[in-house]
Structure 1
Amino acid sequence: MSDETRLREKICRMAQSLFDRGLTCGSSGNISARTADGGLLVTPTGSTMGDLDPARLSLFDADGRFVSGDKPTKEMPLHEAFYRTRGTTGAVVHLHSTHSVAYSMLPDVDPDDVLPPLTAYSVMRLGRVKLLPYFMPGDPAMGAAVAELGGTRPAVILANHGPVVAGKDLDAAVFATEELEETAKLAMLLRRESPRMLTADQVRALRERYPLD
């Protein structure tokens, strides 16, 4: 089995896991991942992550030219912006996960650091998550907004839309996306409480010990 075939199957397997656990629904959400030769495999537009066909994933070559498969997701500008500005990016995951979307709508969140420091793992895997404004789905301006961050953030949440997370490989991107959703869920559960969050010193120590590439 070739590396590309293994990657195709892994994308579909992880996409189905996300779908089965309710982290995305219907035909929402998309995934892309670097191939060994520098190309990209991307989930197709209008497809459900619960029933992807490995052979029909959209394939791009290392120069960004469409090679084969179904038409790619209309959110390609989001993915391309991360690959262009973060040289360590090996995969990008975009979901419409419920708690992340809900948290993006709250009026008093900090758009420069939207998630509170509730657990060590959110700090280690996500860093400071940027809240971007609302864009119409498929609007290329979403990619421009990510590019304007200059590769400084591996994760963003699109207001009223959902998270977009880059990782060094598919595992890292998926795990970080799951961590983002769980942190948003915790934040929603604790919204009317006064939780003991990590201190500034604890957050600083985590960022120093576990820097994000």
Structure 2
Amino acid sequence: MSEETKARDGIARWAKSMFDRGLTNGSSGNISVRLSDGRLLVTPTGSSMGFIDPGRISLIDTSGQLVSGDAPTKEIPLHSAFYETRHGAGAVVHLHSCHSVVLSVLPETDPDNVIPPITAYSVMKLGRVKLLPYFMPGDPAMGDAVRGLLGKRSAVLLANHGPVVCGKDLDAAVYAMEELEEAAKLTLLCRGLSPTLLTQAQVSDLAERFDVSW
């Protein structure tokens, strides 16, 4: 099986899995994978992640032109910004998952550190998550905002919109996205309960061991 075929099948499989588990709905959410030659495979615009046809996934060349497949998601600038600034990024996942969106609109959410260190796994898989301002969906300014982070964050939360994460490959990006949504749920459940968080020393040890920004 070729690299491209494997990536197409992986995108369709993971997209359906996340759709079936209620992590995205309707035609929301998008996924991209960067191939070893720099081309991108991207879920098409207006498509439901529960019914992605691998053969119709958009193939984008290194100059940003559509080579084959349906028209790509309008969030291409957002995806491209991660690939341009995060060394080793091989996949990007963007969802409108419920708990993460709720966290993005609450005034008490820390914009520089959306997810408090409740568990080791959120630190290990996400590092410090940045809340970015609201942008109209598809606005290229979202990409500019990600570039402004200078590659220091692998996960961001778009206000009134949803989370975006990148990973070294598709599996890693999906696992990180799942962790972000679960951590957002835990954060909301702990609100007002004075939870015992990981100490700064514990967080620093994790950040060093797993090479994440904190």
TM-score (norm 2): 0.97
After TM superposition, list the pairs within 5 Å mapping 1:1-213 onto structure 2: 1-212=1-212
Cα distance in 1 between the residues matched to 2:203 and 2:121 = 10
Letter in 1 for 2:35: T
Runs (4+) off by over 3 Å = none
Cα distance in 1 between the residues matched to 2:18 and 2:45 = 17
Letter in 2 for 1:38: G
Secondary structure in structure 2 of the residue aligned to 1:160 = coil
Does the 8 Å contact 1:93/1:164 carry over to 2? Answer: yes
Secondary structure in structure 1 of the residue aligned to 2:150 = coil
The CA deviation at 1:3 is 1.7
> CA offsets per residue over residues 10-66 of structure 1, 9 Å max, x none?
100000000000000000000000123221100000000000000000001233332
> CA offsets per residue over residues 74-132 of structure 1, 9 Å max, x none?
01110000001112110000000000000111101111111110000100010000000
Letter in 1 for 2:74: K
Cα distance in 2 between the residues matched to 1:26 and 1:132 = 24
Does the 8 Å contact 1:101/1:160 carry over to 2? Answer: yes
Cα distance in 2 between the residues matched to 1:130 and 1:212 = 13
Secondary structure in structure 1 of the residue aligned to 2:51 = coil
Secondary structure in structure 2 of the residue aligned to 1:80 = helix
Letter in 2 for 1:140: P
Cα distance in 1 between the residues matched to 2:196 and 2:9 = 41
Secondary structure in structure 2 of the residue aligned to 1:72 = coil
Does the 8 Å contact 1:134/1:160 carry over to 2? Answer: yes
Cα distance in 2 between the residues matched to 1:7 and 1:169 = 10
Letter in 1 for 2:138: G
Does the 8 Å contact 1:4/1:36 carry over to 2? Answer: no
Tell me how large the CA RMSD over aligned residues is: 1.0
Cα distance in 2 between the residues matched to 1:36 and 1:108 = 41
* Structure 2: gaps of 5 or more residues: none
Secondary structure in structure 2 of the residue aligned to 1:50 = helix
Cα distance in 1 between the residues matched to 2:35 and 2:101 = 30
